[in-house]
Structure 1
Amino acid sequence: MPPDRAKIIGISRHRLSTDGDGVTTLVAFHGCPLRCHYCLNPQSLGDSDRFKEYTPQSLYDEVRIDELYFIATNGGVTFGGGEPALRPDFIRRFRELCGPSWRLTLETSLNVPQENIEALLPVVDSWIID
């Protein structure tokens, strides 16, 4: 898939104290290099044709409805999945759109190429590593 597009298995809004500080929106990417027996999102491994495809701009347009919550509570968007660190270009472009006011959190296994993590270090505010 091109770096300007990503398949998303779900978007969950108005989350409190589960995916980072403040009010957050969880964006779950399709795809993961692992096949954990205890996977919390096994749908991220399934048929990728049934999930909605987003560009960074279309995702930003969908989640920015909660911008006031993000800013007022020091919240933002948590990227999970699947494995969001497989999509560093997408996440970097999303950061350009939302600016520094939103907190970006990445929930990752770190089981990706090192250059993916290095590309995300300047744009991700917090990391949840599992």
Structure 2
Amino acid sequence: MIVDRLRMGTDGQGITTLVAFYKCPLKCKYCINHKCHFTDSNSKVSAIELYNSINIDQLYFFATGGGLTFGGGEPLLQASFILDVLELGAKNWHTTIETSLNVPYDKW
């Protein structure tokens, strides 16, 4: 996964942090993130490690109306991991998921 912080005007209002996952079931011709198809470059972190690294940005989220964006790749392939991060406290932030919905229904 890649964490891209302090983004403005990209994922809605305010300052946002993007968590981009690897793995995507699609091969779109005009894909803007070709790295999402690589699986050998995944960085492995736990939900608490990710939450702690993003938590330092929460002041920006509250001050600007921004928040957290999960993208990819296809983030819903990691749905249980995302739920774990949200349960740690990220559910208090504005959260967006950029998805193709090309995943099994139980991941929704």
After TM superposition, the runs of 4+ consecutive aligned structure 1 residues lying more than 3 A away are: none
The answer to whether the 8 Å contact 2:24/2:74 transfers is yes
Structure 1 residue runs of 5 or longer lacking an equivalent are: 1-7, 118-130
* Correspondence list, 1:1-130, <5 A: 8=1, 10-46=2-38, 48-117=39-108
TM-score, normalization: structure 2? 0.92
Structure with bigger strand share is 1
Q: RMSD of the TM alignment (CA)?
A: 1.2
Work out the percentage of aligned pairs sharing the same amino acid: 48
TM-score, normalization: structure 1? 0.77
Structure 2 residue runs of 5 or longer lacking an equivalent are: none
CA distance in 1, matches of 2:84, 2:22: 18
Instruction: Point out which structure has higher relative CO (alpha carbons under 8 A, 6+ apart).
Output: 2
The answer to whether the 8 Å contact 2:51/2:90 transfers is no
Instruction: Report the number of matched residues.
Output: 108
Aligned to 1:3: none
